[in-house]
Amino acid sequence: MLNKWVGCSAHPLTQVVPMTPSSTSIRHHQRKLELKSGSTTVSVGRSPTGLAANPRKNEIYVANTDSNNVSVIDAETSKVVFTIGVHRAPFFIEVSADGKRAYVANSGSANLSVIDLEQRKVIKTIPTGNGSNLARLTPDAKLAIVALRDEDSIAIVDTGGHLLYLERPDHQSPNSVEIATLKARTAAYRERPSSALQERVKERPGWLMFPNSLPIAGGVPLFYGDECVGGVGVSGIADDDELVAQAGAEALQAQAG
């Protein structure tokens, strides 16, 4: 789900790591994780949700939402070899490209747990916001991106400016829907951030008449390869709207490959 992206300082890394191993299909049960590649069922904690593979060694990590912990599975033996306690309701886990760190979004405690996978313990807790339900590392390897429920309005459009996805929390103004959509549309039409139009308007006020657009920071284009395929717009967090939109766009683009 696309909600809100918030940048948190992370250790220097090299790339975004896929959430699941491509060769394994997974089915979640109340207390079990079923790995179809070897027809193996592994007993883990209650309500397993997030899953990540270590790219440097044969380990799989499972975030157990109702157990408030992470199961470490030896991929060779398909057995849980360690359990790491985290904060309330961990929902998603991401592993760094060097295989040394894991980042767990805790939806019940509004924070991000940073795990040292060699020591197998939490070494840092980063405050985020209510309803943390996804964590991604940005392609530039400098940020951990945490998705939050019930924060700002998010709009995603295609290249024609048509709305593909929209989310507005109850506490956000209805105006934020149109603002986020217009920011996304501006970025998609011009294939550059909406803040670029904002700067252009300062130089030439006539650009205010650019149709179906909003010259306010908070919209960024979405690219697939070298082609612009749409835009993301964020409204509701003032000066950080564009930073959040950019982080979300980078996470989407990384997932698309």
Look at 215 and 1; give whichever has higher pLDDT. Answer: 215
Domain tally, the chain: 2
Could you say which of 106, 122, 148 is where a domain stops?
A: 148
Q: Where residue 101 sits, what CATH number does that domain have? A: 2.130.10.10
Let me know whether 86 and 50 are in one domain: yes
Let me know whether 136 and 12 are in one domain: yes
pLDDT score for 252: 74
Average pLDDT over residues 92-102: 89
pLDDT above 90: residue 185: yes
pLDDT above 60: residue 235: yes
Q: What's the full length of the chain, in residues?
A: 257
pLDDT above 50: residue 84: yes
pLDDT above 70: residue 138: no
Average pLDDT over residues 138-164: 71
Q: Where residue 217 sits, what CATH number does that domain have? A: 3.30.450.150
pLDDT score for 220: 95
pLDDT score for 38: 53
pLDDT digits (tens, 9 = 90+) for 30-76: 565 555 545 678 889 998 988 899 999 999 999 999 999 999 999 88
pLDDT above 80: residue 199: yes
The one-letter amino acid code at 21 reads P
Q: Show the domain range for 21.
A: 5-148
Could you say which of 113, 148, 183 is where a domain stops?
A: 148
Token duo for residue 170: 């109850």
Let me know whether 138 and 181 are in one domain: no
Query: How far is Cα 11 from Cα 26, in angstroms, rounded to an integer?
Result: 29
Could you say which of 112, 129, 148 is where a domain stops?
A: 148
Closest by CA to 104, choosing from 152, 146, 139, is: 146
pLDDT above 80: residue 82: yes
Look at 136 and 65; give whichever has higher pLDDT. Answer: 65
pTM for this one? 0.56
Let me know whether 137 and 27 are in one domain: yes
Look at 83 and 12; give whichever has higher pLDDT. Answer: 83
Angle, helices 175-190 vs 194-203, to 10°: value is 80
Least confident of 21-35, 98-112, 165-179, 180-194: 21-35
pLDDT score for 257: 59
Given phi > 0 = left and psi -120 to 50 = alpha, else beta, which region is 55?
Answer: alpha
How crowded is residue 14: how many other Cβ atoms within 10 Å of its Cβ?
12
Average pLDDT over residues 248-256: 71
Mean predicted lDDT score pLDDT of the chain:
78
- CA diameter of the chain: 67
pLDDT above 60: residue 140: no
Is the distance from CB of 112 to CB of 129 less than 8 angstroms?
A: no
Let me know whether 17 and 99 are in one domain: yes
Q: How confident is the model at residue 23 (pLDDT cuts 50, 70, 90)?
A: very low
pLDDT score for 16: 26
